[in-house]
């Protein structure tokens, strides 16, 4: 997140900022706990959460918030729900720094560079035959059109989220069981199997730029076509071009994009060396949690789907 208050910026320099979907670190359901029982991230956050004062911990609800803790999960400060009040956060950051300096002396912690880790994905994504990463972004509108801003002028005057007002983006995952479904046989253009195109449309071409939006229902996909053709061959590498269009529509939402992409398929190793598919079109409406109540459009939405590879 981006804060414009200079006190928060200055205080935050002494922390390593990390963003995570906390539900996956400290879930409530028995099924999720069983899956993450020995996960290091879960154990770290569990140690921290068990030290949070009861008044600051939303025991039965969401765990999203702002948390400050030490290398071994030591409690420094935190608030179970993100606060939009800069002064409130400043006070917690200041208390966290005092506790951190005391903790560092007791445990002989020393500052050291934070090692760069590999990009990680959820287990079901990492193990998929084809894992794709999906980026979603609001696109520029006509000059003078402020309707795409996430926050209004009053928020700006209060110094909140200034750098978030002109754009917003989000990220998703998409997996496919059979990569060859996106590889044509021969050089003639072919249609991608309807089930594959429908999966892409329903799961990836959703408007969750600013919040959460469920996958499209099957009956919401009114059109979904994607063609593929080999446009170049070099040794074991085939360059594939994709073209198509789609229309998803319900009583409350609509998205009508055109699709274009290219990929490089390695025939010897039977894998994609690269994969890029772009979806650009007009979206309209709102879902329950996608933060579009004040921005129903119509407005342009761009989605980029690329090959996931750990760093």
Residue 123 pLDDT: 75
As given in the structure block, the two tokens for residue 115 are 């090692």
Please give the pLDDT value at position 140. Answer: 79
Handedness of CA 29, 23, 203, 195 (dihedral sign): negative
Looking up tokens 């099957």 gives: 218
Tens-level pLDDT at each residue, the chain (311 residues): 444 556 666 666 667 777 776 666 777 677 777 777 788 888 888 888 888 888 877 777 777 778 889 988 899 998 766 555 677 888 888 999 999 999 999 998 877 776 676 667 777 788 889 999 999 988 877 776 666 565 555 555 555 544 454 556 778 889 999 999 999 988 889 999 999 999 999 999 999 888 788 999 999 999 999 999 999 999 999 999 999 999 999 999 999 999 999 999 999 999 999 999 999 999 999 998 887 887 888 889 999 999 987 65
Does the pTM surpass 0.85? The reply is no
Contact predicate 215/221, CB 8 Å: no
């Amino acid at each position: 997140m981006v804060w414009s208050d200079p006190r928060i910026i200055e205080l935050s320099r002494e922390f390593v900022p990390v963003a995570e979907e906390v539900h996956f670190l400290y879930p409530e359901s028995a099924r999720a706990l069983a899956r993450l029982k020995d996960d290091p991230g879960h154990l770290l956050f569990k140690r921290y959460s068990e030290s949070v004062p009861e008044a600051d911990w939303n025991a039965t609800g969401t765990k999203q918030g702002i948390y400050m803790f030490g290398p071994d999960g030591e409690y420094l400060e935190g608030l179970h729900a993100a606060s939009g009040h800069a002064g409130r956060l400043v006070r917690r950051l200041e208390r966290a720094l005092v506790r951190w300096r005391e903790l560092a002396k007791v445990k002989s912690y020393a500052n050291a560079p934070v090692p760069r880790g590999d990009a990680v994905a959820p287990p079901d994504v990492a193990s998929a035959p084809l894992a794709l990463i999906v980026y979603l972004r609001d696109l520029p509108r006509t000059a003078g059109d402020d309707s795409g801003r996430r926050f209004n002028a009053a928020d700006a005057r209060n110094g909140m989220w200034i750098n978030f007002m002109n754009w917003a983006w989000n990220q998703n995952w998409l997996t496919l069981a059979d990569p060859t479904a996106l590889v044509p046989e021969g050089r003639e253009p072919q249609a991608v199997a309807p089930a594959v195109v429908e999966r892409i449309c329903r799961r990836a071409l959703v408007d969750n730029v600013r919040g959460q939006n469920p996958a499209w229902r099957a009956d919401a996909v009114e059109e979904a076509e994607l063609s593929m053709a080999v446009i170049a061959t070099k040794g074991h590498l085939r360059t594939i071009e994709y073209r198509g269009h789609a229309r998803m529509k319900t009583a409350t939402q609509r998205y009508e994009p055109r699709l274009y992409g290219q990929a490089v398929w390695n025939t010897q190793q039977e894998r994609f060396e690269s994969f890029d598919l772009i979806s650009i079109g007009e979206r309209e409406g709102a879902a329950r949690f996608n933060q579009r109540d004040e921005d129903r459009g119509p407005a342009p939405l761009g989605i980029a789907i690329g090959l996931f590879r750990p760093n």
